[in-house]
Amino acid sequence: MARDDQRQEQERGENEMEAISALDLLREDHRKVQELFEEFEQADKRSRQRIAEQALEDLEIHTKLEEGLIYPAIRQEIDDEEIMDMALEEHHVATLLIKELRKMEPKDERYQAKFKVLAESVRHHIEEEESQILPQAEELDLDFEDLGQKAMAKKEQLTGKAGGGTKKKKAQNGRPRKRKAA
């Protein structure tokens, strides 16, 4: 009986540790992608492709979480349609740039410039979101812990940790990676 109590206590602790506010999850994603942008700017040509691919994948997942779960919940309660519409338009621009970058190689003439434009656009979006949308959202009567759990589950699915598998999808749908001989 004591073992069952210990196991239940441990499971409760693990669930509490896993609980993350959807807003904190967004901020965490923002920091991660900003770090990747900085790494890209400092990286040598050989490292840029890996960094860019990671940033593009993270941005695609982040956008799906915001547009599919988080923004709709906030939009229902927030009294500022214009700011939500602007955020979605910023996503649209980022998505177009990501699609263009996915068709290019890092060695292409304008790849680095296009990636930097994406970085600037996303940095602007993050600044507006964190200074305008998230503070307003924090005042709403929404269960951001529950929303955070749903977002984490979706994120795991999209990254392949829960059996979905973006790696497999990329191999089927993306262009094959070119490898240089050593």
- Range name among 69-78, 122-131, 169-178 with the lowest pLDDT average: 169-178
Give the Cα separation of 55 and 58 in Å (integer). 5
**The two structure tokens encoding residue 49:** 């492709």
Looking at residue 162, its pLDDT comes to: 47
Average pLDDT over residues 158-181: 48
Q: Tell whether the model's pLDDT for residue 180 goes beyond 50.
A: no
pLDDT (tens digit per residue) in 108-160: 999 999 999 999 999 999 999 999 999 999 999 999 999 999 999 999 999 88
- Residues with Cβ within 8 Å of residue 142, at least 6 apart in sequence: 73, 74, 77
Q: What is the pTM of this model?
A: 0.78
Please give the pLDDT value at position 161.
63
Average pLDDT, the chain: 84
**Cα–Cα nearest to 67, from 33, 92, 35:** 92
